[in-house]
Amino acid sequence: MSEDTTDRTDAAADEIVDEAVGAADGTVDEVEVEEAPHGPELADLPAALEAVLVVVDEPVSEVTLAQVLEHPVDVVVGALRALAAAYDEDGRGFELREVAGGWRYYSRAEHAPWVEKFVLDGQAAKLTQASLETLAVVAYRQPVSRGRVSAVRGVNVDGVMRTLLARGLVEEVGSEHETGAILYGTSAYFLERLGLRSLDELPELAPYLPELDTLDLDSDQLDPIGSDG
């Protein structure tokens, strides 16, 4: 090593020592501090979203994804929509869908017969007609008590309500102030299973009730939740 190179090396070492001593005695104005780790690079954000969403068992909100991946919500939303569009364009067997206030992967409807063939077993029994009717009453009259559901259907619904609760389609949402009776409503899982974003997307009920005089419902109660008309 030449003498000139040695001198430069020694000078650099002396400078480092001087900075360290100055930081210790407070004579250095600024000391760089290593920043905390951030989320993935923007180019890696789609892959990170895929990695998170592939392990969830219910829709995840945009806010939660933004917090986990440490990116602004609008950036995360843009990446989610770009992913969904890419899957549609590529004709993948799955899709990224926005339902029940969040995002989740689903198999495409056109492949449903093969999916059903794979997963169908004794635990995948369909809801009975009584369960479907009870669920419809809860969906359109919520929040509603069990007694009121029984009055609308004209039969005792205790057993059916237990089934709907066990399947996660219905949940307790409060109680009546006058009687203390438990009130029920549909769950986020209900919206997910129907592919709805909110109860506002429930179809109008009136067209499916040709004999309205047989039901104890007022005409203004036949519209979906949140309807103004």
CA-CA distances (angstroms) from residue 224 to 23, 43, 77, 136, 213? 68, 42, 28, 11, 19
CA-CA distances (angstroms) from residue 5 to 8, 15, 107, 175? 5, 15, 66, 83
User: If you average pLDDT over residues 115-124, what whole number do you get?
Assistant: 62
Q: Is the pLDDT of residue 147 over 50?
A: yes
What is the tens place of the pLDDT at every residue in 173-226? 988 888 888 999 999 989 988 888 888 888 886 555 544 444 444 434 444 443
- Both tokens of 143, joined, read 């929040």
Q: Are 99 and 58 in contact (CB under 8 A)?
A: no
Average pLDDT along the chain: 76
Q: Is the pLDDT of residue 117 over 80?
A: no
Residue 227 or residue 61, greater confidence:
61
Q: Is the pLDDT of residue 55 over 60?
A: yes
Using alpha carbons, select from 201, 200, 204, 228 the residue that is nearest to residue 217: 204
Which stretches within the chain are classed as H helix?
Answer: 3-25, 45-53, 62-69, 73-90, 112-119, 129-141, 146-153, 158-166, 188-194
Q: Is the pLDDT of residue 146 over 60?
A: yes
Q: For residue 172, what pLDDT band results from cuts at 50, 70 and 90?
A: very high
Q: Are 199 and 173 in contact (CB under 8 A)?
A: no
Query: In the chain, pLDDT over 70 holds for what percent of residues?
Result: 70
DSSP state of 60: B
Q: Is the pLDDT of residue 63 over 50?
A: yes
pLDDT in the model for residue 125: 62
What is the tens place of the pLDDT at every residue in 68-108? 999 999 999 999 999 999 999 999 999 999 998 899 999 99
91: left (phi over 0), alpha (psi -120 to 50) or beta: left
Residues 6+ apart with CB under 8 A from 75: 42, 45, 66
What is the tens place of the pLDDT at every residue in 20-51? 344 444 443 443 434 444 778 888 999 999 99
- Can you tell me the distance from the alpha carbon of 98 to that of 95, in angstroms, rounded to the nearest whole number? 10
pTM: 0.46
Please give the full DSSP string across 62-126, using - where no structure is assigned.
HHHHHHHHTS-HHHHHHHHHHHHHHHHHHT-SEEEEEETTEEEEEE-GGGHHHHHHHH-SGGGPP
pLDDT in the model for residue 26: 46
Q: Are 100 and 59 in contact (CB under 8 A)?
A: yes
